[in-house]
């Protein structure tokens, strides 16, 4: 149990908050809170470990003063933190303060890292078997600290001496199963192995953050970069994003402002141009999309080439890299060579220089120039960087790429990044335009974060704008009246309107607001508003999803069409197949949408899909190739599903085989197999592990036409004699009911 005693008197006085946490009779030491020195409608918390606070007290105090000078009262909360629960409870209390509720917090220095398990449906795409090492199969996430409705069960602290700062939790079955952050958060966690050098980096960053708040810097210079192997590979997708950015940031396209679009096709080594832009002193916002790792931003692959010579050079590099990899792994080089000669028709000449020292050096330099390395991130001046990539924000590690943005010697103050892998088809630019109106960057995170999304740096940073105080006040106050948001809907700004819709959704009657949202979806000139209306409508259980996706397929925004194909796959309704196939035939220039349609065609009833493909394509000479492609695909998938179904029904199948088949349903929505999975979940002859896996897999079918069958079965099994089965059945009920509240 926890009991709190606090004095809320003189606002500038240091308080001692006695947290009597009774664990085995041990009483934890007290936390110290320094109250805000100014009055404000909302407040902010600087949460820091005691050692860092003592070493950087002057810088922390100056940072707090700079926040308060901007009209936001700030607490300083310092302690020798033992676990995340201590921090969460303090933040929850500050949030519930009646006069100035907490709007955000920043975690400075050595702050415990919550590692979340059994909640992969709250990420954009992360799906990893959780039987491997926990530090790799869990999601580092500060949603533990900023979404107070989520309910967590503590599992353990990491046993490794180098990972004692990691604490593992899972979300309880009875918890809400969607993210709706109460406050925004960020990390000021330097990339440092040595604690002392880390403290010095923190001191330097805080000085920089204070200086940045003294600038009168509007958002008037932006870059957008798109790397290889991502949505930028589709020119239609890339063009759609450029058009949406134009409607969200119209001022940037006028004289005296600038916006640049960098594409991996522009150069064999895009990183040189991108780094030059990131170091440009006047750059305000950098939105970067591409693949990534904890220490790389991947920019280019081998050069796109149609001429013979560069094509041959690509093949030569490929062969040399494969031969070197084979040697490193101890494989028989002659056998590997013979395999490539058979598959690619190559003679011996292609293999002669694979191990020549000059070629090894040449290839090493070439590969190094393809991607942004940590060592490249010097003097980054983009005030805000959005790194729409996997893993660059892996803040559970001592060193991670995103930290090198705010902790570079340049003027970067905040970097958005992801702690695990992230979905390509995200709505990455959602609400991005609010930043030009002076909204604090934390307000953007609060509306758009998945389990993995975080800010590295100062979440209170904002650009200079005419009505910045007003927008930050209404965005930071949870009690802003609906009439204020209705006013914003009359504002001629795309992302302010979109933001207002998200707030009105919380308070307006469903029937009335459904009508308003459909009006926005069909009538707004702004991609941002139409897409936001779509996402909000799918959150209502009573929304006619078939009508919704049909409207989205008719939209001119490529991303919204793409999103509709996701939901068609999730629903699996036979009546939608004809719409989907007709769209497929007439929009084959939309590579990303077509890719998704190819992926989801097998999820439909094969009899219906075969009949519709025959009706539309069989006698059309102009589509004979497509007809053969799709019929072949359906034939293959029928055999695959038949094999999976037989395996799931096979009483002699091993537990491992059953679990592997069931886990496939987490990524591939084979609606035809949902009834088989339900049978497995209800079968008391099967192991509890198989039954739990079946129920967990079915939790991903929140939009499926089998949804009600799944819910009915879970209600029965929530009283099962096996406690693990009963708990997962309850959790699946909540996950399915909350499916509409998650974008994917």
What integer pLDDT is reported at residue 598 of this predicted model? 86
What does DSSP assign to residue 260? E
Taking residues 321-342, report their average pLDDT. 93
What does DSSP assign to residue 353? T
Confidence of residue 28 (pLDDT cuts 50, 70, 90): very low
488 lies in the same domain as 622: yes
Res 250 pLDDT > 80: yes
Q: How far apart are CA 434 and CA 698, in angstroms?
A: 37
561 lies in the same domain as 707: no
Res 516 pLDDT > 60: yes
What integer pLDDT is reported at residue 584 of this predicted model? 87
582 lies in the same domain as 621: yes
Res 12 pLDDT > 70: no
**Domain contains 173:** no
Res 708 pLDDT > 90: yes
Higher pLDDT, 690 or 19: 690
Write the DSSP assignment of 669-725 as a string of letters. Answer: --GGGHHHHHHHHH-TTS-HHHHHHHHHHHTT-TTSTTHHHHHHHHHHHTT-SSHHH
Q: How far apart are CA 699 and CA 693, in angstroms?
A: 10
Task: Note the Cα 634 to chain centre separation in Å.
Answer: 32
**What's the 3-state SS for 574-611?**
HHHHHHHHHHHHHCCCCHHHHHHHHHHHHHCCHHHHHH
**Domain contains 687:** yes
What does DSSP assign to residue 398? S
23 Rama class: left (phi>0) / alpha (psi -120 to 50) / beta: beta
152 Rama class: left (phi>0) / alpha (psi -120 to 50) / beta: beta
Q: How far apart are CA 479 and CA 370, in angstroms?
A: 49
Q: Which of 688, 687, 711 is nearest to 698 (CA)?
A: 711
| Contacts by 158-163, CB closer than 8 A, 24 or more apart | 158/115, 158/134, 160/135, 163/135, 163/396
Tokens of 485: 């948001």
* Residue 124: CA count within 13 A, CB half-sphere: 20
Q: How far apart are CA 259 and CA 221, in angstroms?
A: 6
Tokens of 438: 């002076």
What integer pLDDT is reported at residue 232 of this predicted model? 57
638, 661, 690 - which closes a domain: 638
Cβ atoms of 83 and 167 closer than 8 Å: yes
Q: How far apart are CA 271 and CA 370, in angstroms?
A: 7
634 lies in the same domain as 658: no
Confidence of residue 744 (pLDDT cuts 50, 70, 90): low
CA distances from 641 to 604, 605, 633 (A): 11, 11, 12
Cβ atoms of 336 and 323 closer than 8 Å: yes
**Domain contains 460:** no
Cβ atoms of 188 and 109 closer than 8 Å: yes
Q: Which of 385, 377, 526 is nearest to 456 (CA)?
A: 385
What integer pLDDT is reported at residue 2 of this predicted model? 35
Burial degree of 405 (CB within 10 A; 0-12, 13-18, 19+): buried
Tokens of 516: 């308003």
Confidence of residue 10 (pLDDT cuts 50, 70, 90): very low
What integer pLDDT is reported at residue 467 of this predicted model? 96
Q: Which of 145, 139, 105 is nearest to 122 (CA)?
A: 139
The predicted-structure confidence for 114-153, as pLDDT tens digits, reads as follows 999 999 999 999 999 898 999 999 999 999 999 999 999 9
732 lies in the same domain as 698: yes
612, 638, 664 - which closes a domain: 638
**Domain contains 265:** no
Helix extents (H) in 191-251: 195-213, 235-248
Q: Which of 661, 691, 696, 663 is nearest to 679 (CA)?
A: 691
Res 31 pLDDT > 80: no
What integer pLDDT is reported at residue 592 of this predicted model? 84
Strand locations in 53-209, DSSP E? 73-79, 102-108, 113-117, 139-140, 152-157, 166-171, 184-188
What is this structure's pTM? 0.92
**Domain contains 512:** yes
Q: Could you tell me the CATH number of the domain that includes residue 673?
A: 1.25.10
The predicted-structure confidence for 385-431, as pLDDT tens digits, reads as follows 999 999 999 999 999 999 999 999 999 999 999 999 999 888 999 99
The predicted-structure confidence for 563-572, as pLDDT tens digits, reads as follows 999 899 999 9
657 lies in the same domain as 634: no
Taking residues 718-742, report their average pLDDT. 92
Taking residues 281-298, report their average pLDDT. 96
Higher pLDDT, 24 or 554: 554
Q: Which of 670, 591, 186 is nearest to 425 (CA)?
A: 591
Give the strand order in the sheet containing 113-117. 139-140, 113-117, 166-171, 152-157
494 lies in the same domain as 626: yes
The predicted-structure confidence for 579-606, as pLDDT tens digits, reads as follows 889 988 888 888 888 888 888 888 888 8
Q: How far apart are CA 716 and CA 731, in angstroms?
A: 13
Cβ atoms of 388 and 363 closer than 8 Å: no
Q: How many CB atoms lie within 10 A of CB 336?
A: 18
**Domain contains 557:** yes
The predicted-structure confidence for 186-217, as pLDDT tens digits, reads as follows 999 999 877 788 999 999 999 999 999 999 99
CA angle 664, 667, 669 (to 5 degrees): 85
The predicted-structure confidence for 485-495, as pLDDT tens digits, reads as follows 999 999 999 99
533 lies in the same domain as 679: no
Do the strands 102-108 and 113-117 form a parallel or antiparallel pair, or are they unpaired?
A: unpaired
Q: Which of 428, 492, 417 is nearest to 455 (CA)?
A: 417
What integer pLDDT is reported at residue 305 of this predicted model? 84
Write the DSSP assignment of 467-509 as a string of letters. Answer: THHHHHHHHH-TT--HHHHHHHHTSS-HHHHHHHHHHHHHHS-
Tokens of 323: 């031969």
What integer pLDDT is reported at residue 24 of this predicted model? 28
The percentage of residues in the chain with a pLDDT greater than 90, rounded to a whole number, is 80
620 lies in the same domain as 497: yes
Taking residues 279-302, report their average pLDDT. 95
Length of the chain (residues): 744
631 lies in the same domain as 600: yes
Taking residues 510-535, report their average pLDDT. 96
Burial degree of 218 (CB within 10 A; 0-12, 13-18, 19+): middle
547 lies in the same domain as 676: no
Q: Which of 292, 282, 293 is nearest to 410 (CA)?
A: 282
User: Domain count of the chain?
Assistant: 2
Structural domain span for residue 719:
653-741
Tokens of 301: 């692959």
Q: Which of 593, 515, 578 is nearest to 235 (CA)?
A: 593
**Domain contains 660:** yes
What integer pLDDT is reported at residue 178 of this predicted model? 95
629 lies in the same domain as 507: yes
Q: How far apart are CA 230 and CA 235, in angstroms?
A: 11
Res 62 pLDDT > 80: yes
The predicted-structure confidence for 371-387, as pLDDT tens digits, reads as follows 999 999 999 999 999 99
587, 610, 638 - which closes a domain: 638
The predicted-structure confidence for 638-659, as pLDDT tens digits, reads as follows 999 999 999 999 888 999 999 9
What integer pLDDT is reported at residue 14 of this predicted model? 47
What phi and psi values does residue 267 have, to the nearest 5 degrees?
A: -160, 155
* Residue 321: CA count within 13 A, CB half-sphere: 12
Confidence of residue 21 (pLDDT cuts 50, 70, 90): very low
Q: At what angle do helices 688-698 and 723-737 cross, to 10 degrees?
A: 0
What does DSSP assign to residue 303? P
**Domain contains 269:** no
What phi and psi values does residue 709 have, to the nearest 5 degrees?
A: -65, -40
Q: Could you tell me the CATH number of the domain that includes residue 574?
A: 1.25.10.10
Q: Which of 29-33, 149-153, 615-619 bottoms out in mean pLDDT, i.e. has the lowest?
A: 29-33
What integer pLDDT is reported at residue 17 of this predicted model? 45
What integer pLDDT is reported at residue 602 of this predicted model? 86
Tokens of 458: 């100062």
Q: Which of 478, 473, 471 is nearest to 438 (CA)?
A: 471
The predicted-structure confidence for 82-106, as pLDDT tens digits, reads as follows 999 999 999 999 999 878 999 999 9
Question: What is the pLDDT of the chain when averaged over all its residues?
Answer: 92
């Amino acid at each position: 149990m926890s009991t709190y005693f606090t004095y809320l008197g003189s606002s500038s006085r240091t308080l001692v908050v006695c947290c009597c946490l009774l664990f085995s009779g041990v009483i934890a030491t007290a936390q110290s809170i320094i109250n805000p020195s100014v009055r404000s409608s909302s407040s902010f918390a600087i949460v820091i470990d005691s050692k860092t606070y003592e070493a950087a007290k002057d810088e922390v105090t100056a940072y707090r003063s700079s926040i308060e000078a901007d009209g936001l009262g700030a607490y300083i909360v310092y302690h020798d933190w033992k676990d995340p629960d201590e921090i969460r409870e303090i933040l929850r209390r500050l949030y519930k303060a009646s006069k100035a509720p907490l709007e955000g917090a920043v975690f400075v220095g050595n702050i415990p890292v919550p590692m979340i398990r059994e909640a992969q449906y709250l990420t954009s795409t992360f799906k990893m078997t959780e039987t491997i090492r926990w530090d790799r199969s869990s999601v580092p996430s500060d949603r533990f600290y900023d979404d107070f409705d989520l309910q967590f069960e503590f599992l353990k602290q990491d046993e490794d001496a180098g990972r004692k700062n990691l604490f593992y939790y899972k979300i309880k079955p009875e918890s809400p199963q969607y993210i709706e952050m109460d406050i925004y958060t960020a990390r000021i966690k330097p990339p440092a192995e040595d604690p002392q050098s880390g403290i010095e980096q923190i001191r330097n960053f805080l000085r920089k953050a204070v200086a940045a708040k003294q600038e009168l810097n509007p958002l008037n210079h932006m870059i957008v970069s798109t790397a290889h192997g991502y949505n930028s590979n589709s020119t239609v997708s890339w063009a759609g994003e450029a058009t949406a950015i134009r409607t969200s940031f119209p001022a940037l396209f006028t004289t005296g402002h600038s916006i640049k679009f960098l594409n991996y096709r522009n150069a064999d080594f895009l990183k040189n141009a991108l780094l030059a832009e990131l170091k440009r002193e006047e750059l305000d916002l950098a939105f970067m999309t591409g693949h990534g790792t904890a220490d790389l931003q991947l920019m280019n692959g081998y050069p796109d080439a149609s001429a013979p010579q560069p094509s041959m050079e690509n093949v030569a590099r490929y062969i040399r890299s494969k031969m070197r990899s084979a040697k490193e792994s101890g494989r028989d080089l002659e056998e590997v060579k013979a395999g490539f000669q058979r598959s690619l028709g190559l003679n011996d000449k292609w293999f002669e220089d694979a191990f020549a020292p000059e070629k090894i050096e040449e290839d090493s330099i070439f590969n190094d120039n393809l991607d942004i390395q940590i060592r490249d991130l010097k003097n980054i001046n983009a005030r805000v960087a959005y790194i729409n990539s996997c893993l660059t924000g892996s803040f559970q590690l001592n060193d991670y790429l995103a930290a090198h943005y705010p902790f570079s010697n340049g003027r970067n103050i905040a970097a958005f990044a992801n702690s695990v892998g992230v979905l390509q088809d995200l709505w990455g630019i959602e609400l991005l335009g609010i930043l030009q109106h002076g909204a604090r960057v934390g307000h953007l995170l609060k509306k758009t974060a998945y389990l993995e999304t975080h800010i590295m740096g100062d979440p209170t940073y904002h650009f200079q704008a005419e009505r910045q105080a007003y927008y930050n006040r209404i965005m930071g106050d949870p009690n802003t009246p609906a009439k204020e948001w209705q006013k914003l809907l009359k504002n001629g700004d795309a992302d302010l309107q979109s933001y207002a819709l998200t707030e009105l959704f919380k308070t307006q009657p469903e029937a009335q607001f459904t009508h308003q949202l459909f009006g926005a979806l069909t009538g707004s000139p702004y991609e941002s508003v139409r897409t936001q209306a779509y996402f909000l409508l799918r959150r209502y259980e009573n929304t006619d999803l078939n009508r919704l996706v049909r409207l989205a397929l008719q939209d001119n925004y490529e991303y919204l069409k793409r999103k509709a194909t996701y939901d068609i796959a999730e629903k699996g309704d036979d009546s939608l197949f004809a719409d989907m196939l007709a769209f497929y035939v007439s929009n084959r220039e939309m590579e990303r949408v077509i890719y998704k349609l190819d992926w989801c065609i097998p999820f439909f009833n094969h009899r219906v899909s075969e009949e519709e493909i025959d009706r539309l394509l069989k006698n059309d000479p102009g589509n004979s190739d497509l007809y053969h492609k799709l019929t072949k695909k359906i034939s293959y998938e029928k055999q695959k599903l038949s094999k999976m179904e037989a395996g799931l029904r096979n009483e002699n199948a091993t537990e491992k085989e059953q679990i592997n088949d069931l886990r496939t349903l987490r990524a591939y929505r084979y609606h035809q197999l949902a009834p088989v999975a339900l049978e497995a979940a209800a079968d008391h002859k099967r192991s509890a592990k198989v039954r739990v896996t079946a129920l967990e897999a079915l939790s991903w079918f929140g939009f499926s036409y089998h949804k009600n069958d799944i819910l009915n079965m879970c209600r029965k099994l929530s009283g099962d004699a096996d406690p693990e089965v009963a708990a997962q059945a309850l959790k699946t009920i909540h996950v399915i009911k909350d499916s509409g509240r998650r974008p994917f």
